[in-house]
Homo-oligomer: A and B are copies of this chain.
Amino acid sequence: MSDMNASAGWSRAFAPASVGNIGVGFDLLGHSIDGPRDEVSARRIDEPAVRILRINGNVPGIEQLPLDAEANTAGRALIALCESLGLAHGFELMIHKGIALGSGLGGSAASCVAALVAANALLDQPLPREALYPFALDGESASSGSRHGDNVAPMLLGGVVMALENRMIQLPTPEWLWCAVVHPDQVLHTRRAREVLQAPYALHEAVTQSQHLAQFLTGLQTNDRELIRNGLHDVLVEARRAPLIPGFGAVKAAALDNGSLGTSISGAGPSMFAWCDSRDVAERVGDAMQQAFADAGIDAHRYVSPVAGPRAECLSANAAEDDA
């Protein structure tokens, strides 16, 4: 099949949105969700280059995304792949954005992971999923300026993933865990969201966060609802970013009042997520969070997904041809 793709056509893949940080695991944890997704179609070309033919999709701000491959997360990831493998050929890409820019749902990561998965299927010897991770980190750095794996790693593996410098570890995720995600119709730039984290912290804040993280991770490993609930509580980042998100306090209260286990900001925001112990609770919590944004005069999209969300996958080998 990879030969057929190589000569004849396009490979198309999607990558899911993700909840970076999961509150308590800043720059460390993330999980994918069954919700918005980016799709990328890739085609082999004879010359050793990466070209982005077009970027489309119904998301605001899309015109800001660079067609220059080096500056684009998808392009940069494939350039890194080609260079690392010493490929004699290159790729052309078409990117379809489904994840809003600046939403905190890993849009830049998703384009990059979808491109890698689509292109990988066209290689004479496709790589295992884990081997795509360093290229995904290269790609992600085109957007954020640094190599953060907390979005690309869960997109590559699915579910809750610990993103280390050179390794991804998928964590056990109880199937009863569901997530509500609410994306307000606003943009929060990651750089702005990082600026507010400059001021230093007291030891007890770092220690409290450690204690929460330890409970959270142990709760996942041992399927312990109480540990997950106690652990899902960010004391480092959330309080500083909350003022950047209009409606934050009301949305958080709505999530907690309606029975979620815990709630916080997804990635750099402004999206917010809440973990719940059933689909029903997640639906109710998602409604309440959306309503709280509405009460603050802000339209918001709402998604409900298992915490064990999907991983990026090829959709078809030749579908993008019909698309083109």
A binding-site residues for B, Cβ under 8 Å: 25-29, 162, 164, 169, 171, 197-198, 200-203, 205-207, 209-211, 213-215, 217-218, 221, 227, 230, 236-237
**Chain B residues near A202 (CB, 8 Å)?**
200-201
Query: Are B201 and A28 in contact, with the CB atoms below 8 A?
Result: no
Q: How far is the CA of A211 from the CA of B29 in the complex (A)?
A: 9
Query: Are B197 and A162 in contact, with the CB atoms below 8 A?
Result: no
**Chain B residues near A214 (CB, 8 Å)?**
25, 28-29, 162, 213, 217
Per assembly, the copies of the chain total 2
Chain B nearest CB from A264 CB (Å) reads 15
Which among A27, A169, A201, A203 has the highest number of chain B CB atoms within 10 Å?
A203
Q: How far is the CA of A197 from the CA of B211 in the complex (A)?
A: 18
B28, B29, B207: the one within 8 Å of A26 (CB): B207
Chain B nearest CB from A148 CB (Å) reads 11
Chain B nearest CB from A298 CB (Å) reads 28
Query: Are A211 and B171 in contact, with the CB atoms below 8 A?
Result: no
Query: Are B162 and A210 in contact, with the CB atoms below 8 A?
Result: no
Residue ID in chain B nearest A226 by CB atoms? B167
B28, B164, B218, B230: the one within 8 Å of A207 (CB): B28
Q: How far is the CA of A205 from the CA of B201 in the complex (A)?
A: 9
Query: Are B215 and A218 in contact, with the CB atoms below 8 A?
Result: no
B171, B198, B201: the one within 8 Å of A206 (CB): B201
Chain B nearest CB from A127 CB (Å) reads 21
Q: How far is the CA of A202 from the CA of B197 in the complex (A)?
A: 9
**Chain B residues near A237 (CB, 8 Å)?**
203
**Chain B residues near A26 (CB, 8 Å)?**
203, 207, 210
**Chain B residues near A197 (CB, 8 Å)?**
203
Chain B nearest CB from A92 CB (Å) reads 37
Q: How far is the CA of A237 from the CA of B206 in the complex (A)?
A: 11
Query: Are B203 and A203 in contact, with the CB atoms below 8 A?
Result: no
Known A-B contacts A203-B197, A206-B201; the reply to A162 vs B218 at CB < 8 A is: yes
